[in-house]
Amino acid sequence: EEPATGLPGFRTWRGVYLFVLTVFVACVILLKAFELAFS
């Protein structure tokens, strides 16, 4: 001493990862908006 994603609308894994990162950024923006709406 790459498999197919099998997800409709996602042809590559890169697309899946990009989608996850987009959702994360959207979450941060929504959290900030939520904070500002009630402050």
Partner 1 sequence: MSALDYVVLLATILGIAGYGAWHTRHRSDMAAYWKGVGKTRWTVIGLSVMATQASAITFLSTPGQGYDGGLRFVQNYFGLPLALIIVAAIFLPLYRRLNVYTAYEFLGKRFDGRARLLGAALFLLQRGLQAGITIYAPAIVLTTVMGWRLDLTIICTGLVVIAYTVSGGSDAVSVTQKYQIGVIFAGMLAAATILILRLPDTLSMGDALRVAGGFNKLDAVDFRFDLSERYNVWSGIIGGVFLSLSYFGTDQSQVQRYLTGPSLRESRLGLMFNALFKIPMQFGILLLGVLLFVFYQFEPAPVYFNATAWEQAKINGAAEQLSEFESEYATAHSERSESIRTWLEAERVGDMATAEAAHSSAIAAHERSQAIRADAIAALRQTNERAKVEDYDYVFITFVLGFLPHGLIGLLIAVFFAAAFSSLAAELSALGETTNVDFYRFVFRRDASERHYVTSSRWLTIFWGMIAIGFALFANQQENLIEAINIVGSLFYGVVLGMFCVAFFIKYVEGWAVFWGAVVSQALIFVMFFSGFFDFSYLYYNMIGCVGCVALSIALQFAVNRRQMRSGV
Residues of the shown chain interacting with partner 1 in the complex, contacts defined by CB under 8 A: 1, 3-7, 13, 16-17, 20-21, 23-24, 27-28, 31-32, 34-35, 37-39
As given in the structure block, the two tokens for residue 27 are 């979450």
Cβ proximity to partner 1, 1 vs 9, nearer residue:
1
Shortest distance (Å) from residue 1 CB to partner 1: 5
Question: In whole angstroms, what is the distance from residue 35 CA to residue 25 CA?
Answer: 16
Shortest distance (Å) from residue 11 CB to partner 1: 14
